[in-house]
Structure 1
Amino acid sequence: MGNIQVFEKIAPNYENDERRKIAKIIADAIRQQNPQGNQQTAIDYGCGTGLVGMESLLSNLYQSLNRNGQLLIIDFDYNEAIVSDNVHSGFKQQELIQTMKKIGFTDVKSTTFYHGSQLFMNQDASLFMLEATKN
């Protein structure tokens, strides 16, 4: 089953109370990180199943940012219990930080900000926020 078919299959049931709760947790974390958000432009780019050319995508985002522009990435920490050809298993923060630096981002830092039960693919999981700046 291709990515589009997987998305089409899960999309009708994707929004539920638990997902709305997670969305609020993420929004609150972004607001805490950036209390002056009303003075900036934000783009929410969802990668769906996460099966994209990550380095290529990050390079394109880097090129699109203005000088001193900031990129926030919020995703799941790597979870070895997630084994699937249809979704990624989350990110290893240190590897992602190294990729960001390789692309040219500076002031790269990452922190786990939420742990939840059966949060990702019916497995306990944690969410992280990575911040990076284009100089």
Structure 2
Amino acid sequence: MGNTDKFELIANMYDTSERIQIAKVASEAIRSYLIDTKGKNAVDFGCGTGLVGLNLVNEFNAMIFLDTSESMMNQVKKKIADLDIQNADTLCFDFEKESQSGLDTDYIFMAQVLLHIHDVESVLSRLFKVLNEGGHLLIVDFDKNEEVASEIVHNGFIQAELKDLMMKIGYKDIQSRTFYTGSKIFMGRDASMFVLDARK
């Protein structure tokens, strides 16, 4: 996944109060789309230090925290151990480089991850294959923001364009909404965030 080297360096100081707050807001947006998930499995894709997934782990039968950064994974492992969470596991893997054939799940969520992914269509296609029939992909990310200029991340997404791309891949029943606007939350700029739910 994009920018792994940068996340390796900041893993042990990643959990700022701002990131914890944004993760809480993102978790609640995701939670609003969960239906009868107690017997279902989930993947927190691009989980970082697990801030979002740990807010949702009790909603599922089991959860895999997946990221490309070993340092981030170590933070998650420590939290899982400290909190004595029994239904969680970790996987260090890069979906941008290869497919993960042994993985299947009912729910995948990714919060502020898509903007780091260079080839969006390829990764969304690979995630589609990992989902069980009827499974859900939930994306939380930034709305397109022309004030953000960066060579390392996308400057957000237009929801309608993302829906069109996902329908082309095979996702259906796609719904999305902007749910949060914050001050200086995206590369030092004011920005809004959307949540998108799509089904296989």
TM-score w.r.t. the length of structure 1 is: 0.87
| Structure 2 segments unaligned to the other structure (5+ residues) | 47-112
Q: Where do 1:65-104 residues align within 5 Å?
A: 65-104=131-170
Tell me if the contact between 2:3 and 2:116 (Cα under 8 Å) persists in the aligned partners. no
Tell me if the contact between 1:3 and 1:49 (Cα under 8 Å) persists in the aligned partners. no
Deviates more, 1:76-85 or 1:9-18: 9-18
How far apart, in 1, do the equivalents of 2:127 and 2:18 lie? 30
Q: Where do 1:26-41 residues align within 5 Å?
A: 26-41=26-41
Deviations 1:70-105 (A, max 9, x none): 111111111111101022211111110000000011
Deviates more, 1:73-82 or 1:37-46: 37-46
Q: Does 1:115 align with 2:184?
A: no
2:14 is matched with 14
Instruction: Give the number of equivalent residue pairs.
Output: 133
Deviates more, 1:35-44 or 1:110-119: 35-44
How far apart, in 2, do the equivalents of 1:21 and 1:127 lie? 13
User: Alignment identity in percent?
Assistant: 47
> Which one has the bigger strand percentage?
2
Deviates more, 1:109-118 or 1:46-55: 46-55
Tell me if the contact between 1:79 and 1:89 (Cα under 8 Å) persists in the aligned partners. yes
| Structure 1 segments unaligned to the other structure (5+ residues) | none
Paired residue secondary structure (2:140): strand
Shift of 1:4: 3.8
How far apart, in 2, do the equivalents of 1:82 and 1:95 lie? 18
2:52 is matched with none
